[in-house]
Amino acid sequence: MKQGVLICVLALGLSACVPHGARLPESGWQPSEFLIALRSAPPAKAEPYALAAQAGFTTIVDPVGPEALEVARRCGLKLTVAKIGLDSTTLRSADGRRRAADQVERFCRHPALWGYFLGDETREADFDALGRLTDFVRAHGQDKPFFASPLPSDAFVGPALANADYVGYVERFLRAARPPLLVSSCLPLRAGEPEGGYFENLEIIRRAALGHGIPFCATLRGSVWAGMQPLTEGDLRWEVYTALAYGARGVAWFSYWGAPGGGREGIVAPDGSPTERYRWIAALNADLRSLGPTLLRLRSTAVYHTGDVPPGATRLPIHGLVGAVEGGSFVVGLFEESGHDERYVLLASKERQREVAAKITIHQPCRSTAWLDPATGRWLDLPARTDRFQTAIEFALPPGGGRLLRLSLKPPG
């Protein structure tokens, strides 16, 4: 994505100061639905907005003008709005700040407004300006969220990060902006590096989000760059389910449009017609809409890998709740729900080009096992073999596929 553009900078005022390592203050906002965002916005017209809604997107996340709100409302979409005076020039003067505040308060109750677009892939030098800007929005935006993202972990060092301490960079970004939602910006499946730093970035963002009690959104790649292999349906499925295994409570697909000159092919063709990837992403978005209400209630407790373990990841331990996973290479996400005794496992296949027959061994007998069927949104019984010490579960997964399991464990003894 690497736009490296901070949309709004140098707002006046003082940013809040949070001691290093301290939990951020509550933002006042929690997601009511699983975010399925579309980056690189289509033109604010009925046909492309309807096309986005038909593909299951819930929100367009880009610096969109307020003139698009009514188009979005009619199509059942929400937007992040910019271009309403939230910029360095306007906010330098008292009159400019007043006009910007009037604009924010004017649109904050519009039913199609998700929140405000304040920046993307923020350079460390712009943290203070972003913090002052987010304070301005909090003061006038009626608790609406805002979108501002850090650079990905594979961004260049020097002017971008000031140093190579990415974990510290993310922490400083959080302290400056205090965002309601943390964004993982590292795109998966880069040329020559199928995984690259994707999993390492996911783990850093996951830990930071958990540490500060905020959800995180994973950026997924729906576009194809020149010189890269075409994305398969298994590749896209792999992106979705590995992100979910890490605890993502939202995804942002990049991008709607291609790049000028043919350097990148978007989710739609240059003439605005759906591509094959559009249809695959629409099917995956349907899965996300079905799984989302349950995923929003779950808290990630651990993530493990089997097979090749990429940088930043942890190998599945021998003596954990999930003792082994056979049949391929997997990401194993463990979850719990506050106030409930059940345990949840989201198994994601890293085999992007072939189906697998997964066999999971749970190191505890289960009273019942179930899986959440995306086609119906219902929990279905999952056959299992249980003895005094463990439970074995088997099921098939398509290329790059995943499955959310619910385990009702028998008490010890």
- Three-state SS sequence of 36-103: EEECCCCCCCHHHHHHHHHCCCCEEEEEECHHHHHHHHHHCCEEEECCCCCCCCHHHCHHHHHHHHHH
**How much is the pLDDT for 13?**
29
**How much is the pLDDT for 5?**
31
Are 160 and 122 in contact, with CB atoms under 8 Å apart?
Answer: no
> Using one digit for the tens of pLDDT, what is the confidence trace for 279-303?
999 999 999 999 999 999 999 999 9
> Using one digit for the tens of pLDDT, what is the confidence trace for 200-244?
999 999 999 999 999 999 999 999 887 777 899 999 999 999 999
> Using one digit for the tens of pLDDT, what is the confidence trace for 323-358?
999 999 999 999 999 999 999 999 999 999 999 999
User: Residue 216 has what DSSP assignment?
Assistant: E
User: Distance of CA 53 to CAs 49, 57, 201, 298, Å?
Assistant: 6, 5, 29, 26
> Using one digit for the tens of pLDDT, what is the confidence trace for 13-55?
223 333 444 555 555 678 999 999 999 889 999 999 999 999 9
| Secondary structure (H, E, C), 370-384 | EEEECCCCEEEECCE
**pLDDT at residue 12 is higher than 60:** no
Are 79 and 114 in contact, with CB atoms under 8 Å apart?
Answer: yes
Burial 54-87 (b: 16+ CB within 10 A, else e): ebbbbbbbbbbebebbebbbebebbbbbbebbbb
Compute φ and ψ for 125, nearest 5 degrees: -65, -20
Are 44 and 51 in contact, with CB atoms under 8 Å apart?
Answer: no
Structural domains of the chain, with CATH? 35-296 (3.20.20.80), 299-409 (2.60.40)
Compute φ and ψ for 130, nearest 5 degrees: -65, -40
* DSSP codes joined into one string, 317-378: PTTSSEEEEESS-EEEEEEEETT---EEEEEEE--TTS-EEEEEEESS-EEEEEEEETTTTE
Q: How many CB atoms lie within 10 A of CB 289?
A: 17
Are 77 and 66 in contact, with CB atoms under 8 Å apart?
Answer: no
| Residues in Cβ contact with 16 at an 8 Å cutoff, skipping those fewer than 6 apart | 25, 131, 135, 178
Are 101 and 135 in contact, with CB atoms under 8 Å apart?
Answer: no
User: Residue 231 has what DSSP assignment?
Assistant: P
CA 143 to chain centre: 21
Are 226 and 262 in contact, with CB atoms under 8 Å apart?
Answer: yes
**pLDDT at residue 382 is higher than 60:** yes
**How much is the pLDDT for 193?**
55
**pLDDT at residue 2 is higher than 50:** no
> Using one digit for the tens of pLDDT, what is the confidence trace for 130-146?
888 888 888 888 789 99
User: Distance of CA 38 to CAs 41, 177, 183, 397, Å?
Assistant: 7, 22, 14, 27
3-class DSSP state of 134 = helix
**How much is the pLDDT for 201?**
92
Are 326 and 359 in contact, with CB atoms under 8 Å apart?
Answer: yes
3-state helix, strand, coil in the chain (%, to 5): 30, 30, 45
Q: How many CB atoms lie within 10 A of CB 147?
A: 26
Virtual torsion, Cα 29, 34, 36, 39, nearest 10 deg: 20
Compute φ and ψ for 380, nearest 5 degrees: -115, 145
Q: Compute the distance between CA of residue 130 and CA of residue 122 in angstroms, rounded to an integer.
A: 8
Q: Is 179 exposed, middle or buried (0-12, 13-18, 19+ CB in 10 A)?
A: buried
Q: Is 353 exposed, middle or buried (0-12, 13-18, 19+ CB in 10 A)?
A: exposed
